[in-house]
Amino acid sequence: VSGDSQLPPVPGQARVVICGGGIVGTSVAYHLAKLGWTDIVLLEQGRLGAGTTRLCAGILSMAKPISIESQMANYSSSLYQQLEEETGVKTGYVKTGSLCLAQNQDRFISLKRLATRLKVLGINCNIIKPKEIAKLHPLVNIHDLVGALHLPDDAVVSSPDVNHALAVAAARQGVQILDRTAVQQVVVEKGHVMAVETDRGSIECEYFVNCAGQWAYELGQASEVKVSVPLHGCEHFYLLTKPLQEPLAPNTPVIIDMDGRMYARLWQGGLLSGGFEKNPKPIFTEGRNQLEIQNMQEDWDHFEPMLGALLRRMPHIETAEIHQLVNCPESFTPDMRCLMGETPGVSGYYVLAGMNSSGLAFAGGAGKYLAEWMTYGYPSANVWPLDIKRFGNLQSSRTFLRHRVMEVMQPRVQTHSFEFLPYDFWRYLLSLDQSKTFYKPDWFDIVGAEVKCCKEAVCVIDMSSFTKFELTSTGDQALELLQYLCANDLDVPVGHIVHTGMLNERGGYENDCSVVRLSKNSFFIISPTDQQVHCWSWIKKHMPNDPHLHLEDVSWKYTALNLIGPRAMDVLAELSYVSMTPEHFPSMFCKEMSVGYANGIRVMSMTHTGEPGFMLYIPIEYALHVYNEVMSVGQKYGIRNSGYYALRSLRIEKFFAFWGQDLDTFTTPLECGREFRVKFDKDTNFLGREALLQQRQEGVFRRFVMLVLEDHDTELDLWPWWGEPVYRSGQLAGTTTSSAYSYTLERHVCLGFVSPPPGPEGLPMPITPDFINRGDYEVNIAGQRYPAKAKLYPFSSLFTQQKRRKEDMELSNLQGK
């Protein structure tokens, strides 16, 4: 309508530039302003909320697969509820509640599990019977339903109006909002954001936030140093009907039928119903110039299955008249979780995108967390599952993303998966064969045999996906850096292996790794697979700009084989003609040796399980040879291949914590019984030392414990996974973080955190061994409570060769992977 002359000029300078005027971008602006930031500019290429926000279905549900997402939705809900009062802008907020329907027992169990998790977060929800569903929603056909999860506090809202309200509130606090201004390039200098070039001039800035939704990938590419934002667009359809002849009450709950792949809510007297199809249509692979989001086409033939599902669920609305079929593209990420945080390559460049069709529910909470991240260096909750650094380069290929988006759109067996943490490609591959049951899985006996083999003979596990770095320097810069970054003492003789955490200022684990001192000034750092990007950027961030200090990612250079079991030393001795007994090769040592015909193999006497054995780090060109030799020599010792499930069972029964599952950036070594791995006695300063010292003084408020289930029938009862609430003497005391069946104890073992109830003034109370040891514990699996014994220390009987290697015990067997 108006020419450029009527647009306000672009300021030459700002502290923060946010790109994207949808609900996510405005939420970030709103929360930054709330936290006291000034000098914020928000840019939108078209009009505010003209993208996915405009067409969003407007359902605000807190039933999300992981807790951090439910927390975000919970916050969004309370924010949108009071937004109308705060701004005077009508947001269309109606608390309707929602019903997640179950058509089969499996779905019902998964909803029960979800319910236990939501209750821990304080979210109101109930498991209800089909008859009660009919009372809440008169149109639902309940004949094929088993039950439902009712969330009374879920709501519907008009997302463009929320978008508008957030913009109004942000503008009131001084945020400058410029529409019809497109970002062309982000200028980076020395790894830091310097300026943003728009089609109407450039803006110098310190921070840039990419909230470009569908276009976030491309915007990431349009930076001098390319930023990988792994998401892909996909068409998404929903149907609008004209007002129903017999109107429903305005607070009729939203219907979410996961088995029917559809959802429906009330909309202006009619219905709004959409779904997730089996054959999604990826879109915008070639970029934004191809198509405008405004003129998306309806595709009735594509919508046919969803319409069928709707009519099966609500047969009576057959006579309702069609108003419109809306095509509203959404953006999806490889693991169906949003992308949040500072990018690994460019400091000051933040991303919040890839909302996986839950943008409205997440925007409030995600905006708050990102604002906190920018303000305090990290959000107030653990957002690792959403951290953009969980992805590496593997996931940034456009082809990969296009193909992946067609997979993730499938309503995954997320409710069925044993361990649904496909953090990255490797894990994703591993998760393919995961059991699809809530009960005893079909691989039970196979893993049992592998575990037995690890205990009595020898097993090989491929651990090549682990992250491996080499840090070298000419002088002692490498040691100085690691002494500062790591909690444990690294000034050890050459050849020693040290298990250590890398802590943040709060004393929480940023990484949990094993560091090998290869020579005086070079170190080999081994971390979990999903640490590849995160750990790299953490070290880089703290690394002085010194040309004599060099960090290299050698993950692809080495194949890692884990030889576990008492006969591992015999196999290796035969292949190397060197004695591998503990007298000659004590635990926690690394030697470069030849194995078979291959040279230069780093052999380490540790297994990440507490069992005796060795890790072999083999230059990839020799990997096949060494593997074949190991397998052929191992024949007479009963060698067999083994997998991660065996590894997990072994580590969990020995109470080893794993970063990403048990440990996060909020967990300190003191909370998980690893004080012995902190160099308090040394005078060296290290990151997190202050916080740990203070915690040591004040006491810890929660403690990592091992819970051994009792009265739990492995054959008939539901298995624990993780995230189950833990009760102490009837009171909620914490949640589990991981669990496994221990073949040695013949029991289920859960690991998790417990904390005492708050003190008289609501203040957290320090935890005592007494609190843990006395008290009746229960673990709640999908609504059923099972008694458990809490333990602070592992069963010492589990450690083989204990007497012989007693002096090594403390160091080696309490390692945490």
Partner 1 sequence: LHPESQRVQLQGRCGSCTEFLIHHLFVPEFDGKNVSSVMGFESNQLPANAPIEDRRSAATCLQTRGMLLGVICSLFGVLIHFFALSERLFYYIAVSLLPHDTLCELEASVEAGRAFSPILQWHKHPNDYFTREAQSLYFNSLRTYWQELIDLTSPGDVPDTREALLNAFKRLDNDISLEAQVGDASAFLHYWVLRVAFSGATACVAHIDGPDLYIANAGDARAVLGVQEEDGSFSAHTLSNDHNAQNDSEVARIRSEHPHSERKTVIRQDRLLGQLMPFRAFGDVKFKWSIELQKRVLESGPDQLHENEHTKFIPPNYHTPPYLTAEPEITYHRLRPKDRFLVIGSDGLWETLHRQEVIRIVGEYLTGVHQRQPLKVGGYKVTLGQMQGLLEERKARMSSAFEDQNSTTHLMRHAVGNNEFGTVDHERLSKMLSLPEELARMYRDDITIIVTQFNPHVIGAQRQDDES
Residues interacting with partner 1, by CB under 8 A? 239, 241, 297-301, 303-304, 307-308, 310-311, 317-322, 324-325
Q: How far apart are CA 118 and CA 113, in angstroms?
A: 9
Q: Which is nearer to partner 1, 86 or 299 (CB)?
A: 299
Q: Which is nearer to partner 1, 246 or 318 (CB)?
A: 318
Q: Which is nearer to partner 1, 76 or 252 (CB)?
A: 252
- Rounded least distance, CB 235 to partner 1, Å: 13
- Rounded least distance, CB 268 to partner 1, Å: 16
**Rg (alpha carbons) of the chain, rounded to whole number:** 28
Q: Which is nearer to partner 1, 299 or 505 (CB)?
A: 299
Q: Which is nearer to partner 1, 43 or 234 (CB)?
A: 234
Q: Which is nearer to partner 1, 192 or 316 (CB)?
A: 316
The tokens describing 603, both together, are 């052999």
Q: How far apart are CA 657 and CA 669, in angstroms?
A: 11
Q: Which is nearer to partner 1, 317 or 346 (CB)?
A: 317
**For residue 683, what is the DSSP state?**
-
Closest CA to 37 of 216, 194, 176, 181: 176
- Rounded least distance, CB 308 to partner 1, Å: 6
Amino acid identity at 59: I
Q: Which is nearer to partner 1, 246 or 301 (CB)?
A: 301
Q: How far apart are CA 601 and CA 614, in angstroms?
A: 12
- Rounded least distance, CB 262 to partner 1, Å: 13
Q: How far apart are CA 276 and CA 311, in angstroms?
A: 15
- Rounded least distance, CB 303 to partner 1, Å: 8
Amino acid identity at 816: G
Q: Which is nearer to partner 1, 77 or 273 (CB)?
A: 273
Residue 650 CB partners (closer than 8 Å, separation 6+): 451, 454, 564, 609, 610, 611
Cα dist. 23→165, 178, 267, 335, 652 in Å? 10, 15, 20, 22, 42
- Rounded least distance, CB 401 to partner 1, Å: 20
Q: How far apart are CA 734 and CA 461, in angstroms?
A: 33
Q: Which is nearer to partner 1, 263 or 771 (CB)?
A: 263
Q: Report yes or no: 780 and 545 within 8 Å, Cβ to Cβ.
A: no
- Residue indicated by tokens 């500019």: 41
Q: Report yes or no: 738 and 658 within 8 Å, Cβ to Cβ.
A: yes
- Rounded least distance, CB 52 to partner 1, Å: 23
Q: Which is nearer to partner 1, 239 or 421 (CB)?
A: 239
Q: How far apart are CA 285 and CA 267, in angstroms?
A: 32
- Rounded least distance, CB 543 to partner 1, Å: 42
Residue 692 CB partners (closer than 8 Å, separation 6+): 487, 503, 507, 668, 669, 670, 678, 680
- Rounded least distance, CB 407 to partner 1, Å: 19
- Rounded least distance, CB 315 to partner 1, Å: 9
For residue 315, which phi and psi values (nearest 5 degrees)?
-60, -25
Q: Count the residues in the chain.
A: 817
The tokens describing 369, both together, are 């967390």
Q: How far apart are CA 415 and CA 74, in angstroms?
A: 21
Q: How far apart are CA 204 and CA 227, in angstroms?
A: 19
